[in-house]
Amino acid sequence: MALDPSMPILVVDDYQTMVRIIRNLLKQLGFENVDDASDGQAAIAKMRDKQYGLVISDWNMEPMTGFELLQRVREEDALSATPFIMVTAESRTENVVAAKKAGVNNYIVKPFNAQTLRSKIESVCAV
């Protein structure tokens, strides 16, 4: 399926190295319109200012976790339909189940490569 390389993507992670890694992987996949936020509060603010085609968020962040960010996004009418992929180092079943119940579109366990990222994005965003 085709992906829209001009689709705006928001990467949310409090660890700047991980933001750079995800940005580089997205660039390899042809995505250039990538913004980032270092926490959930900043992400919500950016999402209110700009409509994103996808949010890729880390689970473990302070002060607002990626899970809490997901819950906030799903509660706000203007943001609730935004595709959301959760990234985490933890593959615990209860986390996956909780994220699915909260409305996550897909889930990536670290470490991952460009092909894994592409397949996850295709599963939620392909036109």
Q: Are 28 and 72 in contact (CB under 8 A)?
A: no
pTM (global) more than 0.85: yes
How many residues does the structure list for the chain? 127
Kindly state the DSSP code that residue 126 receives in the 8-state scheme: -
Helix pair angle (40-49, 66-75), 10° resolution = 30
pLDDT band at 126 (very low <50, low <70, confident <90, very high): low
pLDDT in tens, 2-56: 789 999 999 999 999 999 999 999 999 999 999 999 999 999 999 999 999 999 9
| Planar angle of CA 57, 93, 39, nearest 5 degrees | 20
Q: Where are the domains of the chain?
A: 9-125
C-alpha gyration radius of the chain: 13
Average confidence score pLDDT of the chain:
94
Q: Are 8 and 35 in contact (CB under 8 A)?
A: yes
How far, CA to CA in Å, does 40 sit from each of 2, 53, 92, 113?
A: 29, 17, 22, 24
Q: Which H or E element spans position 103?
A: none
Kindly state the DSSP code that residue 39 receives in the 8-state scheme: S
Question: Which of 3.40.50.2300, 3.40.430.10, 3.40.50.300, 3.10.20.30 would CATH assign to domain 9-125?
Answer: 3.40.50.2300
